[in-house]
C-alpha cells in the first residue's frame, strides 16, 4: 500500500514521523515552511509543497493508495469532499489527532483498507482506533472482505452487497454455504476477529441445504455454481470465487 502522511503543523509533523516509521515506504507531506523539520522526522521520505494543502489533494488521490492526515477531522472532510468518486476507486483516508490518541478511518474503510490501516497504526502508536462501520465495531463478518487474504473474488451488485451486509449486522439469519476453498477464513479475517462466528451466520456444505424462505441472505463460496441457476436468491446473494489453490 502506497501511503502519504500529511501534516500541516509543527506538532503534527512530529507525529507524522512516527507514523512514517510504522509504515515502510510511506512519504511525509508538509508545507514548505516546515521543510527542515520534515526532513528530520522522515529523512529521505519528506516532500514539502508551496501553496495550500487543498491544492495537493488531487495529486495525492491519484498517486497513493492511502492518506494518513494529522489534521482535524472536519478539515479533512472538506479537503477530500470535492474529489470523491466511489469506494472502488477512492484511497483509504485515516485521520489522527495531534496527540496521537485516536486513529479514525474516514474513507474506504473496507475495500480501501482504511479500517485495517487504522488498526495497524493504533497498535504501533499506542492509540485507539475509532471504527464506526457496524461490522467492525461489532466484530462480525465484513461481507465485502470475506476471503480477501486468500485471493477470493466476489460477484455481486452494489445493492446485493448492501442487502447482505445489512442482514449480517442486523442479526438476520444468513446462509453461508461453502462448497470450495479454505475453511480457515474467519481467523484470518481482514480486520481481525478473535471471537466465534456470529450465531446468525449458518454454515452449510451445499446450496441445496439453504432454504430461501428461511434465510434473509446467501453468502455462497463456490467455484462452479452459477447465479442464474438459482433465481430465488436474486438480489440477496454474494458469490465468492476461491482460486484453485485456496
Mean pLDDT rounded to a whole number for the chain: 92
pLDDT, tens digit (0-9, with 9 covering 90-100), for 36-74: 999 999 999 999 999 999 999 999 999 999 999 999 999
What's residue 246's pLDDT? 60
What's residue 188's pLDDT? 65
CA–CA dist 239, 114 (Å, integer): 24
pLDDT, tens digit (0-9, with 9 covering 90-100), for 162-175: 999 999 999 999 99
Residue tagged 521520505 (cell numbers): 45
Kindly tell me if the per-residue pLDDT of 203 is higher than 70. yes
What number is the average pLDDT over the span 162-189?
91
Architecture of domain 3-132: 3-Layer(aba) Sandwich (3.40)
Q: Which residue has the higher pLDDT, 13 or 186?
A: 13
What's residue 65's pLDDT? 96
Among 133-142, 145-154, 185-194, the least confident range: 185-194
What's residue 12's pLDDT? 96
pLDDT, tens digit (0-9, with 9 covering 90-100), for 83-128: 999 888 999 999 999 999 999 999 988 878 898 899 999 999 999 9
What's residue 72's pLDDT? 96
What's residue 132's pLDDT? 84
Q: pLDDT exceeding 90 applies to what percent of the chain?
A: 79
Q: Who's near 60: CB < 8 A, 6+ residues apart?
A: 4, 6, 29, 67, 91
What's residue 145's pLDDT? 87
CA distances (Å), origin 137, targets 53, 78, 95, 185: 32, 25, 17, 19
Backbone angles phi, psi at 220, to 5 degrees: -120, 115
CATH 3.40.50.11220 domain residues, the chain: 3-132
CA–CA dist 162, 20 (Å, integer): 34
What number is the average pLDDT over the span 235-240?
97
Amino acid at each position: 500500500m502506497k501511503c502519504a502522511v500529511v501534516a500541516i503543523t509543527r506538532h503534527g509533523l512530529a507525529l507524522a514521523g512516527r507514523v512514517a516509521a510504522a509504515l515502510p515506504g510511506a512519504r511525509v507531506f508538509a508545507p514548505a515552511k516546515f521543510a527542515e523539520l520534515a526532513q528530520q522526522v522522515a529523512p529521505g521520505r519528506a516532500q514539502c509543497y508551496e501553496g495550500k494543502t487543498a491544492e495537493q489533494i488531487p495529486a495525492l488521490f491519484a498517486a497513493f493508495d492511502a492518506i494518513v492526515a494529522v489534521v482535524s477531522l472536519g478539515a479533512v472532510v472538506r479537503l477530500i469532499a470535492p474529489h470523491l468518486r466511489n469506494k472502488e476507486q477512492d484511497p483509504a483516508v485515516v485521520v489522527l489527532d495531534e496527540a496521537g490518541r485516536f486513529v479514525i478511518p474516514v474513507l474506504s474503510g473496507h475495500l480501501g483498507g482504511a479500517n485495517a490501516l487504522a488498526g495497524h497504526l493504533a497498535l504501533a502508536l499506542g492509540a485507539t482506533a475509532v471504527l464506526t462501520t457496524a461490522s467492525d465495531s461489532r466484530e462480525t463478518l465484513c461481507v465485502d472482505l470475506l476471503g480477501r487474504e486468500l485471493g477470493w473474488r466476489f460477484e455481486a451488485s452494489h445493492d446485493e452487497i448492501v442487502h447482505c451486509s445489512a442482514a449480517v449486522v442486523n442479526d438476520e439469519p444468513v446462509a453461508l454455504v461453502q462448497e470450495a476453498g479454505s475453511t480457515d477464513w474467519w481467523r484470518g479475517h481482514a480486520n481481525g476477529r478473535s471471537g466465534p462466528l456470529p450465531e446468525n451466520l449458518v454454515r452449510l456444505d451445499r446450496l441445496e441445504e439453504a432454504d430461501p424462505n428461511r434465510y434473509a441472505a446467501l453468502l455462497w463460496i463456490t467455484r462452479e455454481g452459477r447465479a442464474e441457476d438459482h433465481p430465488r436468491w436474486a438480489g440477496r446473494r454474494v458469490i465468492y470465487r476461491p482460486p484453485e489453490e485456496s
